[in-house]
């Protein structure tokens, strides 16, 4: 599957930054400080259901966590995907971070 060339950048609110601080293992940040994280970049996969970023059907696995979006961020994501489906959260997993499909900056 091809991915979009440009990622969607979503700037984090203060409560989302606290979520990153509370749930993101520092080992996932590749030397970055959690205090410096201000945005998330998503590279949605073209041709896949946008809900592929939601919690897997088998549930949250050890090490995964969920980042919730604001209404405005859900609108941005829906427009970016050109989809009628709203995505209220993204499942953060080591796999998404390793592939770069989800990254924090």
Domain total in the chain: 1
User: Is residue 88 in some structural domain?
Assistant: yes
Are β-strands 39-42 and 8-11 bridged in parallel, bridged antiparallel, or unpaired?
antiparallel
Q: Is residue 21 part of a domain?
A: yes
For the segment 17-72, what is each residue's pLDDT rounded down to a tens digit?
A: 999 988 888 788 777 888 889 999 988 655 455 555 556 666 677 778 889 999 99
Residues of the domain holding 50:
8-104
Distance, CA of 24 to CA of 83 (rounded, Å): 29
CB-count exposure of residue 62 (10 Å: 0-12, 13-18, 19+): exposed
Mean pLDDT lowest among 42-46, 71-75, 97-101:
42-46
Q: Is 12 contained in some domain?
A: yes
Phi, psi dihedrals of residue 90, rounded to the nearest 5°: -130, 135
Q: Among 55, 83, 57, which residue's Cα sits nearest to residue 67?
A: 55
């Amino acid at each position: 599957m091809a991915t979009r060339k440009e990622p969607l950048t979503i700037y984090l609110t203060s409560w989302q930054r606290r979520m990153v601080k509370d749930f993101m293992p520092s080992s996932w940040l590749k030397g970055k400080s959690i205090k410096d994280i201000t945005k998330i970049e998503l590279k949605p996969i073209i041709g896949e259901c946008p809900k592929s970023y939601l919690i897997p059907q088998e549930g949250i696995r050890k090490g995964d966590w969920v980042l919730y979006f604001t209404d405005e961020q859900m609108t941005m994501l829906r427009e970016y995907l050109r989809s009628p489906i709203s995505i209220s959260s993204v499942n953060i997993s080591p796999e998404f971070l390793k592939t770069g499909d989800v990254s924090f900056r």
